[in-house]
A and B are shown apart, each in its own frame.
Chain A
Amino acid sequence: MEQLKVIEIQKNVYAKNDEEAAKVRAEVKQKGVYLMNLMSSPGSGKTTTLVRTIQHLKEKLNIGIIEADIDSDVDAKTIATTGAKVIQLHTGGMCHLDANMTRQGLDILETDGLDLVVLENIGNLVCPASFDTGATLNVMILSVPEGDDKPLKYPKMFKVVDVLLINKLDAIGYFDFDLNAVIERAKALNPNIVIFPMSAKLNQGIDAWCDWLEHAVKSSR
């Protein structure tokens, strides 16, 4: 019988993914592709917002979508109706995308000629906050029915994102949702966060968000 020995590793669990993510970020930058990672709880309106965003920007930018939200191709089919290039990643029950899966998605999508690629991450506010995908821009959606206390419950997500979209504002009359409190709580966690209130369903507030995104994509070149 061989001798057991203690092998020191002393490495942060996320460090290896962080290294891969840095590589993905460099790769997309080199190709001139702006990669956006879209995160939220299930049902907050990621797919609906993406459809609106594509409709708004498709004359101005070549857009590709990597769908990872659920283990079926419903969302990919919805996106395909807009005419945007889209692929469905099958993540086999995983609760987040990591940098390696993102690279696979980019390879399958074939990003030549694309200006903007959006990753619809798996619906979850926990793990995607810890696993950097290598995206240039991290965006989250919080929808009104989820409640205004979400920044207190999921502080990490609110800290890592660049943009917060507050969706389903059309439903605010039915819920106890204090918009100003959410904005205040999000800014306390992340002073640089950019916030757009909207209703993807009614196509309200989409303009301001899309103008901002178009500018971000173009000024990154």
Chain B
Amino acid sequence: MHELGIMIHIVDQIEEIAKTQHLQHIDTLVLEVGELSGIVPHYLENVYPMAVENSILQHSKLQIHVIPGKVLCRDCHHVFHLVTPQQACPKCQGNNHKLISGQEFNIKEIVAY
């Protein structure tokens, strides 16, 4: 349900871009979703057909690039893969990290004419 509202919001933005750039057909929509963004790619895929109905994206494909959650440990400078927000550094057990990636939720590109 939440993904549907967000997907409709994305479709509206693409329709606007298609209008200003005089596009006639969109083949693929590419999104970037970070592992720590709170957005679940699987649900976006599920709601896609419903969200694009009667829009310029109606027969398009959805491609999702997942961006891994990566953090830098401020204590020992180790870079590691963060899966849940509360997770200690595997090297020094420290809890003082800086987020490098994983919170993205972007409209990356469209393939169109």
Contacts and interface: CB of A to CB of B under 8 A. Distances in A.
Contacts of A190: none
Nearest to B112: A7
Contacts, number: 71
A188 B25 CA distance: 48
Contacts of A6: 109-111
B27 A12 contact: no
Interface in B41-71: none
A7 B5 contact: no
Given A4-B112, A156-B38, A12 B2 contact: no
A131 to B, nearest CB: 8
Interface stretch (A61-69, A92-100, A105-113, A208-216): A92-100
Contacts of B105: 12-14
B21 A16 contact: no
A2 B106 contact: no
Interface string B96-110: 000000001111111
Nearest to A9: B107
Given A10-B106, A13-B105, A126-B38, A95 B17 contact: no
Interface residues of A, number: 26
Interface of B is mostly: mixed
B109 A8 contact: yes
B27 A4 contact: yes
Given A5-B113, A7-B112, A94-B5, 20 more contacts: A2-B24, A2-B25, A2-B113, A4-B27, A6-B109, A6-B111, A7-B21, A7-B23, A7-B110, A8-B109, A10-B107, A10-B109, A11-B106, A12-B106, A12-B107, A95-B4, A96-B5, A131-B9, A155-B85, A156-B38
Interface of A: 2-14, 16-17, 94-96, 98, 124, 126-127, 130-131, 155-156
Interface of B: 1-2, 4-6, 8-10, 13, 17, 21, 23-25, 27, 31, 38, 85, 104-113
Give me the 9 closest cross-chain CB pairs, A-B, nearest first.
Answer: A2-B113, A95-B5, A126-B2, A9-B107, A13-B105, A127-B2, A8-B109, A7-B110, A11-B107
